[in-house]
Amino acid sequence: MFQQPSDFRDESEELYRLLARLADADFEQKTQFKDWTINDVLRHLHVWNWAARLSLDDPDAFGDFRARLFEAFQQGRAVGEFEKQWIDDAKGLALLEKWREFYLAMADRFAAADPKKRVAWAGPDMSVRSSITARLMETWAHGQEVYDLLGVEREDGDRIKNIAVLGVNTFGWTFTNRGLDVPPDLPRVELTAPSGETWTWNEPSDDNYVAGRASEFCQVVTQVRNVADTSLEVVGETARRWMSIAQCFAGGPEEPPAPGTRHRTQPER
């Protein structure tokens, strides 16, 4: 037993409780993320949860899934179109319940697995622990556009430390993914957890550091906020360069949202 499957389940349950109060029509509302609707968000989370479970239980079937994905990309099909085909275009409350039923069983399955076992993915192989942590990160990140759309101020738990760790560990990846040299001077990271605890990484520094709320650091490294829209203290050239392009998720280099474009949009209901 290890902690990340439980953290993944709890984060998914928070998002489920937010969405369970909606009507079917509400799921077609567009978010600030590429005009994705709530239905698009849930399809994306569900399909890639399914893929992660497949990589753990049936590597051959996952290989077939990955081949079909790459074929779809070569044909110029959008990822959303591909995802709709894999879940028969379910939507609304039916999709919500389908997503929940799967992630609950998936969390139990990952909890029973060896966290060090290697599993395949769309990019390099990873450990079971890293696989479920990535699902937690993506659930949290895509959940943010839903919280923003519905005007709800998110109340994070300390399980976001998993995301903060990903953010710190992908410092080098952020640069190499863009074909840039990795700076040799790792910034100090000092974050205040939702519980008030202090989390720190790397050597102390007075002229190269990122400090502030863990929630805002996670928002920046998952690219759901521009660093200019946070209260993070970012000091030093390397720290500023990092926070301007930070990316803790796999795939080609993505640009952070422009300042002011991702925010809570409505009064809390």
Q: Could you give the CA distance from residue 211 to residue 262 in angstroms, rounded to a whole number?
A: 21
Q: Compute CA distances 158 → 17, 48, 222, whole Å.
A: 19, 24, 17
Q: Which pair of structure tokens corresponds to residue 207?
A: 């002229």
Q: Compute CA distances 123 → 66, 203, 247, 250, 251, whole Å.
A: 10, 31, 15, 7, 8
pLDDT at 65: 86
pLDDT at 251: 86
pLDDT at 267: 55
pLDDT in tens, 112-128: 999 999 999 987 899 99
Exposure of 20 by Cβ count < 10 A (0-12 exposed, 13-18 middle, 19+ buried)? exposed
pLDDT at 203: 97
pLDDT at 18: 97
pLDDT at 266: 65
- pTM comes to 0.94
pLDDT at 77: 63
Q: Could you give the CA distance from residue 168 to residue 150 in angstroms, rounded to a whole number?
A: 30
Q: Compute CA distances 77 → 33, 49, 120, 210, whole Å.
A: 19, 21, 23, 39
Q: Which residues of the chain have pLDDT under 70?
A: 76-78, 80, 266-269
The contacts found for 154-159 with CB under 8 angstroms, 24 or more apart, are 154/215, 155/194, 156/194, 156/214, 156/215, 156/218, 157/10, 157/194, 157/195, 158/193, 158/194, 158/195, 158/197, 159/7, 159/10, 159/11
Q: Which pair of structure tokens corresponds to residue 252?
A: 């080609």
Question: 38, 21, 19: which is closest to 29 by C-alpha?
Answer: 38
Which residue segments constitute the domains of the chain, with CATH numbers given?
3-155 (1.20.120.450), 161-245 (3.30.1050)
